[in-house]
Structure 1
Amino acid sequence: MRLVIIGAGFAGMYAALSAARLRDIRGASPEELEIALIAPDPRLVIRPRLYEPKPETLTAPLLEVLEAIDVVYVQGSAETVDTKSRTVEIATAKGAKKNLSYDRLVVATGSRLFRPNIPGLAEHGFSVDQLNDAMALDRHLHSLADRPAKNGRDTVVVAGGGFTGIEAATEMPARLRAILGKDARPRVIIVDRNSAIAPDMGEGPRPLIEEALRKLGVEGRFGVGVAELDKSGVTLSNGERIECGTVIWAAGMRAAPLTTQIPAERDNFGRLLVDRDLRVLSVPGVFATGDAARAACDDVGNYALMSCQHATRMGAFAGNNAAAELLGVPTMPYHQKAYVTCLDLGEAGALFTRGWDRKVEMVGDEAKKTKREINTVWIYPPRAERAAALASADPERVTDL
């Protein structure tokens, strides 16, 4: 029997760990149940940190962890999924193709930034979506030091006033001063079509976010969008022109394109609809998890968000349940009632909330300390020691906050 997992992000990593954990508990051998993980590289990109400097350092190796728990790493990109023949076609780095059959499949392909067809966006916009994107932005920011300090060189426009946009924007003043000199006067502007900053955070945290933005000198343009980009700036939908040296696009996410190959219903974000065990509806043998799945967290209407907090726990349940079906043991319905947010606010600290109603528990330096611990300890892979790695993937304990 073979369980195949596509993706080595947070959801894919925990799906592999959890499936191996259940296999170990049930006393099955790797020969009886092969667990294979497909990804271009055997590393976890610490995606929630890609707004920080030195993004090239924000990865963690996975190969030793996978070897410690007897998970087969298959290097390449999954290009085609045939759910009738239960095969995945993989493109290798050298351009060759190979097929891998599966008895159960876990789709953990993550999400991608949604880039609309706005004139100039592809040529002149940057992002912190994927590792290569963040590295390109970092190189660009450092190149600003070689340009004259005029015509908006020190101005950054961030398109998107959600979680990612706020973290990118509030980090920019310190990043630019580190590059351009402590006497530089960076100007950062958040542009969002919503009427206020952080539309998903609610009324409780918003005044604290607005105060942090004022403290940092970050401006806002709300109720408008970016209509056009060129090499010297942006034009907004209301006709306002902003001369700037950098535009960061942070407006909206969609499930990775591979989900379209699964013949099942999807939501407006491209996520596959799944049941409480994270099985894809109407497609036998296929599970979806993380940003690839629209999954109910509880019985009162809350659904998992596109976040590593949800992806890690969803991954653990998906891996466990896919393995459980093959091993003939009961599955475990996914649930995640605990939910926190920890929003980095740059030099203004951070904001920590708990619950779906976003009750504020910590602000400023205290919340910043928690954010650093989350970013540098909690979200990293377990150590490459078999017992510890398997123990870390108990679905009922993963991200139990």
Structure 2
Amino acid sequence: MRNKREILILGAGYAGMSAAVNLGARVKRRDDVRVTVVNAGERFVERLRLHQTATGQQLAEFDIPELLESIGVGFIRGRVREIDPEANTVRLDDQRLLRYDHLVYALGGVADTARVPGADEHAFTLDSAADAASLAGRLDRLAAGTVVVGGAGLTGIESAAEIAERYPQLRVLLLGRDEPGAAMTDKPRAYLRAGLDRLGVEVRGGVDVVKILADSVELAAGESITADAVLWTSGVRAAPVAAAAGLTVDDLGRIVTDPTLRSISHPNVYAVGDAAAIEQGYGLMHGTCQSGMPTGVHAAVSLTRELKGKQPKPFRFGYYHTPVSLGRADAIVQFTKPDGSPRRWYLTGKRATWYKETVNAAPWPTFLRMTRFPGSGAIWPSGGRYTRRAGAR
């Protein structure tokens, strides 16, 4: 009997799990293919909700190996140490060596703490559930004081709002180069700012953080702000594994892909989610769950085609919306054009809260549907273009 075709999926976030469950369901009746997921933990992390974990809220727990076992996909718990794309091997931290014929690289991204001195040592991040829990512990110990949130993007806005709502005794200061909601139209942006004001979040746009100390934040203009805790959400960079392996990456360490999501330097490697630099007609995609899950599905569909001797099709994707929570009882949803620019339509208040909670619900039901009906759920491929019923941000 010939050897099995080995497909390794590195990472079990939104993109990696979308690839794993979709591919596993498509090849589960084949005895010549083995699909294995490698991930540092067995619990699925809802990164979109880590700002809730950071404020002490309990989220549902989902077991990755249990779901994968139901469709015959293997699971290995371990951290990826290095990849040898010439030998087609992956080495884990405990020195285990894994072989692959095809690789799906879904190791995601982390907060870019390297570009600001002191961020690594003194700032909290939301890169993992453990990181979020660490911040929650710090906030619980503060009877008073100032929490600085660095970065006025979506993660920074949601985190600042959540902290201000859950810890009203704390001063919450949101710092960013741009104003919150800068990509929205006038009315949604005004609603967003009013919501932050209502929660007591102080906003300062047009500022650059140049250094983070144990008890303060220094700005480019020379000002120093006392801080009892700093959450850093400004910018994302990819894990260094791909660059160290010699795969072609961009300046943020993301694997540069061809139109089908294969590495331009190593075509037996697919890159998905935040780990991939994917060019579309409107420019480079920005990493979100909204775009990450479709890349995982596309990789699964493409690998299935390759296993049948067919060529994969190009990936095409258009954005649909930008949902932003303002605590647990308020939100705003800016609908967008496919290139991410804002449309006139938007939702606010209770309607926006319901919408966001619906589309940002845990993806586990979607993964379960994929195990039975590959490509079903919130996202599915149609002629090479990915559309959405209602997808997470």
TM-score range, shorter chain: 0.7 to 0.9
Distance change (3 Å), C-alpha of 1:308 and 1:70: same
Distance change (3 Å), C-alpha of 1:79 and 1:200: farther
**Whose relative contact order is higher, 1 or 2, with alpha carbons under 8 Å and at least 6 apart?**
1
User: What is the SS of the residue equivalent to 1:395?
Assistant: strand
Distance change (3 Å), C-alpha of 1:320 and 1:261: farther
Q: Is 2:132 the partner of 1:134?
A: yes
Of 2, 12, 15, the match for 2:16:
12
Partners of 2:152 and 2:245 in 1: how far apart?
32
Q: Is 2:36 the partner of 1:36?
A: yes
TM-align CA RMSD: 2.5
Partners of 2:165 and 2:152 in 1: how far apart?
19
The CA deviation string for residues 323-373 of structure 1, in whole angstroms up to 9 with x for no partner, is 321232342322222422111122671111222222242111210111222
**What is the letter of the counterpart of residue 134 of structure 1?**
A
Percentage identity across paired residues of the two chains: 31
**Offset at 1:262?**
4.3
The residue number in structure 2 matching 1:318 is 299
**Offset at 1:307?**
0.7
The residue number in structure 2 matching 1:65 is 67
Aligned 8 A contact 1:44 1:59 in 2: yes
**Offset at 1:228?**
3.2
Normalised by the length of structure 2, the TM-score is 0.87
Q: Is 2:334 the partner of 1:336?
A: no
Partners of 1:398 and 1:87 in 2: how far apart?
34
The residue number in structure 2 matching 1:235 is 218
The residue number in structure 1 matching 2:113 is 115
Q: How does 1:182-261 map to 2 (within 5 A)?
A: 184=169, 186-194=170-178, 196-201=179-184, 205-261=188-244
Q: Is 2:342 the partner of 1:358?
A: yes
Normalised by the length of structure 1, the TM-score is 0.85
Distance change (3 Å), C-alpha of 1:73 and 1:395: farther
The residue number in structure 2 matching 1:180 is none
Partners of 1:44 and 1:119 in 2: how far apart?
31
Partners of 1:118 and 1:288 in 2: how far apart?
28
User: What is the SS of the residue equivalent to 2:225?
Assistant: strand
The CA deviation string for residues 3-34 of structure 1, in whole angstroms up to 9 with x for no partner, is 1111111111011122123325xxx42x3111
**Offset at 1:90?**
1.9
Partners of 2:127 and 2:328 in 1: how far apart?
22
Aligned 8 A contact 1:338 1:400 in 2: no
Partners of 2:200 and 2:376 in 1: how far apart?
45
The residue number in structure 2 matching 1:369 is 354
User: What is the SS of the residue equivalent to 1:251?
Assistant: coil
Partners of 1:304 and 1:142 in 2: how far apart?
37
The residue number in structure 2 matching 1:50 is 50
**Offset at 1:111?**
0.4
Aligned 8 A contact 1:18 1:316 in 2: yes
The residue number in structure 2 matching 1:181 is none
**What is the letter of the counterpart of residue 347 of structure 2?**
M
How many equivalent pairs are there? 376
Aligned 8 A contact 1:46 1:380 in 2: no
Of 82, 100, 103, the match for 1:102:
100
| Structure 1 unmatched runs, 5+ | 146-152, 178-183
Distance change (3 Å), C-alpha of 1:168 and 1:231: same
**Offset at 1:268?**
2.9
Partners of 1:270 and 1:22 in 2: how far apart?
31
**What is the letter of the counterpart of residue 307 of structure 2?**
L
**What is the letter of the counterpart of residue 143 of structure 1?**
R
User: What is the SS of the residue equivalent to 2:298?
Assistant: helix
The residue number in structure 2 matching 1:387 is 372
Q: Is 2:167 the partner of 1:176?
A: yes
User: What is the SS of the residue equivalent to 1:15?
Assistant: helix
Distance change (3 Å), C-alpha of 1:102 and 1:348: same
Partners of 1:38 and 1:139 in 2: how far apart?
29
User: What is the SS of the residue equivalent to 1:193?
Assistant: coil
